[in-house]
Amino acid sequence: MEKRKKRAASSGLPRLVRQVNLQTVTREMRRLALFSKIDLARQLGISTTTMTKLFAQLEADGMIEKSPVEDKSFGRPKILYQLSPALQVAAIVVDVETTTIGFSGLQGDVLPGNRVVLPSGTDARALFARIATEFPALHHTLGAACRLVGVCIPGLIESRTGMSMLNPNLHWLEGTCPGKELEVLLGIPAFVMHEEMALSRAQLRAADETTDYIAMDFVSGVGMSVVSHGTHLSGASGFAGEIGHVIMQPEGRLCGCGNHGCLETIASDRVFQAETGLPMDEALQRLGGGEPNTVAAAQ
């Protein structure tokens, strides 16, 4: 029995190493327009043999392809590769008022014509049904293969199940598993991610090589995500970094979570807009022009 356990453990380790290497390599590929096996192997500290196997796997999967461009800067021309332009990934971003469906290439660039914006409404099933109609229509128009859908929502998401556990600004999403439900409706692998996690992971593609940082936004609510040594910190259940519902004013405004005076009741775009009583575009325009009442609302 003990020998079988050791064999199982030893067989799982190489698989884990390959997966880690593959994630590291693909992350770096997304940062570059063109790349070669030798340069990536040298840059990432991975052996040339291992890199050759990873390239073969990615090429067989249709993720990368040889570029028509050759590097002739030194000696024998170097074969360069690029992420396949024939593949796309999709994102579905559910926010308080609108839901956006967008497609991008593997480099992550979303063109204006590659998205559609829907009203979020107040019913999860109705929204999922609308997405199931609009998503294939846009996908068909773009005419590119799509292998993965990322679903971004606010609130607390249980990492093991993908369930929306607490969503103070979108209570009607609570108890649903948007990633799993949309995967069934769309017929494409999907996963759900907290909007702040998506924001912090996007920052990993920045050119400044920063691997330790905190990402925050103050839009519909207030969110925070922490990245340490290039790894997103999620906590035991995926709730790490939640800051919007830290109580700042115990006798303050009622928050969507049921408490009073949470951070997002005093510092968010929605609070600013409510205090100005203006559409957001107009409020921002007046703020930029130094209009006193709007400036006071922003302070």
pLDDT tens-digit profile, the chain (299 residues):
454 444 444 455 677 777 778 878 887 888 788 888 888 999 888 888 988 999 999 989 888 899 888 776 666 778 899 988 888 889 999 998 899 999 988 877 777 788 999 999 999 999 999 999 999 999 988 887 888 899 999 888 888 889 998 888 899 999 999 999 999 999 999 989 888 777 777 766 665 667 787 877 777 777 787 888 777 777 766 667 778 888 888 888 888 888 898 888 888 777 877 788 787 778 878 778 888 777 777 76
Cβ contacts of 116 within 8 Å, gap of 6 or more: 100, 101, 102, 134, 138
Which residues are registered as beta bridge partners of 213? 227
User: Which residue, 9, 16, 20, is CA-closest to 45?
Assistant: 20
Which residues are registered as beta bridge partners of 153? 194
Coil, strand, or helix at residue 72?
coil
Task: Tell me which DSSP letter residue 77 carries.
Answer: P
What burial class does residue 150 get, using C-beta atoms within 10 Å of its C-beta: 0-12 exposed, 13-18 middle, 19+ buried?
middle
- Per-position b or e across 88-122, b if 16+ CB within 10 A of its CB: bbbbbbbbeeebbbbbebbeeebeeebbbebebee
Report whether 97 contacts 119 (CB < 8 A): yes
What is the residue whose two structure tokens read 């995926």? 238
